[in-house]
Amino acid sequence: MTDTAPRAPLPAVELAADAYPAGSRYANEDLRPVPLADRRWTTYNFVALWIGMAHCIPSWTLASGLVALGMDWKQAVLTIALANVIVLLPMLLTGHAGPKYGIPFPVLARAGFGVRGANLPAMVRAAVACCWFGIQTWIGGQGIFVLLGKIFGGWTGAAEVGGYPWTLWLCFFVFWVLELAIIYRGMETLRRFENWAAPFVLVGAVVLLIWIANKAGGFGPLLHEPSKVGWGPDFWKVFFPGLMGMIGFWSTLSLNIPDFTRFGKGQRAQVWGQTMGLPTTMTLFALMSVLVTAGSEKVYGAPIWDPVALAGKTDNVFGLLFALITVFVATISVNVAANVVSPAYDLANLAPKLIGFRTGAIITGVVGVLVMPWKLTSTPELYIFTWLGVVGGLLGTVAGILIADYWIVRRTVLHLADLYVRDGRYWYRGGWNWRAVLAFAVGGVLAVGGSYSTLNAQGEKAGPFPVDGLIPFLKPLADYGWAVGLAASLALYTLLMAGERRSR
């Protein structure tokens, strides 16, 4: 069923308290629309959110992953810049529903997938977020472990448990607890944390740049290092999967950005905040990482892409403490915002009467450990081509359906009360819209069905997929997974819903 209401744009909408039964099994306090009075995030809040999320160790080392695959620094920064401009568009399109209706991602997904069917994209998004939460927590714990080892000595030589020093596991656990403690306090605590974390982390990155520039007397060798892939066919073989991988880095947020924009004062705040916060921050951060690494090669004779390892080169206790706090704040600011908020809402949507936002956050934390994140970032091939590529393909498919449903089918007009009840216009058949499920299945197969593993320098398979691809004839599409998934699901869902309208 599609909406037949007038298509004129509506201002921000507020749902009356009695608009749907108080005992609805599809609603709780965390999933209901945010009241207009509580939608107070400004442009600065969104800019700060993106600065806080972008300035983290994994985004710092994105350029290193591309350089390790043969690009020079200019090609790597260009790829990252283009990817973030591209992913900004679906970010703004899905984010529109937040300030207008005050609803989170899983509730928005009910319009297209059905009140029950929304659990399908929500659980896909939650699974990805749980993995990302584990990865970021592991990386943050490693950073603290290394820096504490420099301060205390002997810290890194402790007895091993499960292949790692027990002190590393301790850092991982403490970091894990602190992250969950912040998000347990709620979204308003997160907003205040991001407001001061963003400038602090930015200052930390600039301090690292100034420090290494002073020691190096300028930036040299790496900036003049030629590309190993050139600008010919070898470049494009790396560029397109690399581009899709970089898009995949933030494709998670292109789905659940309504979880944040629902607190926005208006469309201007979310549009300008995201536009100024995402592509500029990621590009400048990538450029900064290249400059710092160039300086490290001049000073130490080899490029050091890991900012923690580089900061650990100093013997200044104050410098080490500052670096320790910066790593701590940077990793928490991205991990809590990007990887705990979404699954907390997604899990709440799965069983609203049993799981609230805080319970969902705790579940996310537990799953993030169980996925063994230390195995997901072992090589650049596995990290960029396999993990980011496959994730991007699946999430691009969901994004295509959300955009098609909200902008093309409904033209941004939603009937809020029906998103929370059985037998409303978004109930479809048994709570599921089979058209959305079919579009997701077809788009997903096209996007990731050809996923393949590359061969490393020793001629060994670097990844879990067959070299010829899971479905060999789809292998040519695998390098464009996110774009293929988004375009295919958007087109198919639009056609299916148009056919449904004609059949009525």
Tell me phi and psi for residue 462, to 5 degrees.
-110, 80
Please, which pLDDT band fits residue 250 given cuts at 50, 70 and 90? confident
Residue 69 structure tokens: 């695959």
Instruction: State residue 412's pLDDT score.
Output: 92
CA distance 14 to 39: 11
Instruction: State residue 94's pLDDT score.
Output: 94
CA distance 319 to 325: 10
The residue to which tokens 């590309």 are assigned:
227
Instruction: State residue 10's pLDDT score.
Output: 52
Tell me phi and psi for residue 113, to 5 degrees.
-90, -15
Residue 398 structure tokens: 């969901």
- From residue 501, how far is each of 2, 434, 459, 504 by CA, in Å? 7, 14, 54, 5
- From residue 9, how far is each of 32, 179, 345, 412, 451 by CA, in Å? 22, 39, 27, 7, 41
CB atoms within 10 A of CB 441: 14
Residue 503 pLDDT exceeds 60: no
| Amino acid identity, position 31 | L
| Amino acid identity, position 416 | L
DSSP state of 455: E
- Comparing 49-53, 322-326, 466-470, which segment has the lowest mean pLDDT? 322-326
- Comparing 3-7, 119-123, 192-196, 411-415, which segment has the lowest mean pLDDT? 3-7
Let me know: does 254 contact 94? Beta carbons within 8 Å.
yes
Q: Which helix (H) or strand (E) holds 462?
A: strand 461-462
Rg (CA), the chain: 23
Q: Which helix (H) or strand (E) holds 485?
A: helix 481-503
Let me know: does 421 contact 20? Beta carbons within 8 Å.
yes
- Comparing 249-263, 273-287, 367-381, which segment has the lowest mean pLDDT? 367-381
CA distance 217 to 435: 61
CA distance 387 to 178: 26
- From residue 271, how far is each of 323, 385, 438 by CA, in Å? 33, 30, 31
Residue 407 pLDDT exceeds 70: yes
Residue 378 structure tokens: 């072992």
The residue to which tokens 């043969």 are assigned:
70
Q: What is the pLDDT of residues 144-190, one digit of tens each?
A: 887 788 777 777 777 888 778 888 889 888 888 888 887 777 667 76
Q: Which helix (H) or strand (E) holds 164?
A: strand 164-165
Please, which pLDDT band fits residue 91 given cuts at 50, 70 and 90? very high
Instruction: State residue 9's pLDDT score.
Output: 46
Please, which pLDDT band fits residue 102 given cuts at 50, 70 and 90? very high
CA distance 55 to 43: 18
Q: Which residue has the higher pLDDT, 158 or 364?
A: 364
The residue to which tokens 């909406």 are assigned:
3
| Amino acid identity, position 295 | G
Residue 8 pLDDT exceeds 50: no
Instruction: State residue 224's pLDDT score.
Output: 73
Q: What is the DSSP string of 20-45?
A: S-TT-TT--TTTSPPPGGG--B-HHH
Q: Identify the bridge partners of residue 432 per DSSP, sorted by sequence position.
A: 429
Q: What is the pLDDT of residues 288-307, one digit of tens each?
A: 888 888 788 778 877 777 77
Mean pLDDT for all residues in the chain:
82
Let me know: does 360 contact 344? Beta carbons within 8 Å.
yes
Q: Which residue has the higher pLDDT, 114 or 385?
A: 114
Q: Cβ neighbours of residue 294 under 8 Å, at least 6 residues apart? A: 73, 216, 219, 220, 221, 222, 223, 303
Let me know: does 242 contact 66? Beta carbons within 8 Å.
yes
Q: How many CA atoms lie within 13 A of 320 on its CB side?
A: 17
Q: What is the pLDDT of residues 76-86, one digit of tens each?
A: 888 889 988 98
Instruction: State residue 397's pLDDT score.
Output: 93
For 459, counting Cβ atoms within 10 Å of its Cβ (0-12 exposed, 13-18 middle, 19+ buried), the class is exposed
For 317, counting Cβ atoms within 10 Å of its Cβ (0-12 exposed, 13-18 middle, 19+ buried), the class is exposed
Identify the three-state secondary structure at position 165. Answer: strand
Instruction: State residue 187's pLDDT score.
Output: 66
The residue to which tokens 């009937």 are assigned:
415
Q: What is the DSSP string of 315-365?
A: --HHHHHHHHHHHHHHHHHHHHHHHTHHHHHHHHHHSTTT--HHHHHHHHH
Portion of the chain with pLDDT greater than 70, in percent:
89
